[in-house]
Structure 1
Amino acid sequence: MTAPAAERLTMTVEEAAAVLGIGRSAAYAAVRAGEIPALRVGRKLLVPRQRLLAMLGEAEA
């Protein structure tokens, strides 16, 4: 069973795109350019929640 998105340490690129208010393609392009932090686990790209929030200047409540 997967934890709710708010409790996970990582999010998908699609979830990060929604947080940033950008499209899926733009988010993947930003990951490739190194503008969005991401980790590759096998074939999957995961965005560390804390690093994304830190990049935005926010702290998780």
Structure 2
Amino acid sequence: MVEVTRQTITIAEAAKALGIGRNAGYEAAHRGEIPTIKIGKRILVPRAALDKMLRGEAA
């Protein structure tokens, strides 16, 4: 059986990883400061894009 690693995290998980509150995470995502994608009604943060952002690389 192949183990699949999630390629996206929730905004709440991203906020926790960044050391900010959940509401601050949603506000940052709304302002475009945290990279997001929308799948259906869910707003998710791609791990690769977040890592790239944290390394200071252009989107």
> TM-score when scaled to structure 1?
0.80
C-alpha offsets along residues 14-45 of structure 1, whole Å, 9 cap, x if unaligned? 11011100000000000100000001111111
- Give structure 1 stretches of 5+ with no counterpart: none
Corresponding pairs, count: 54
Larger-gyration structure (1/2): 2
Once the two structures are aligned, what percentage of the paired residues are identical? 48
RMSD of aligned residue pairs (Cα, Å): 1.8
> TM-score when scaled to structure 2?
0.83
- Give structure 2 stretches of 5+ with no counterpart: none
Runs ≥4 residues deviating over 4 A: none
Greater helix share, structure number: 2
Equivalent residue in structure 1 for 2:39, among 38, 41, 44? 41
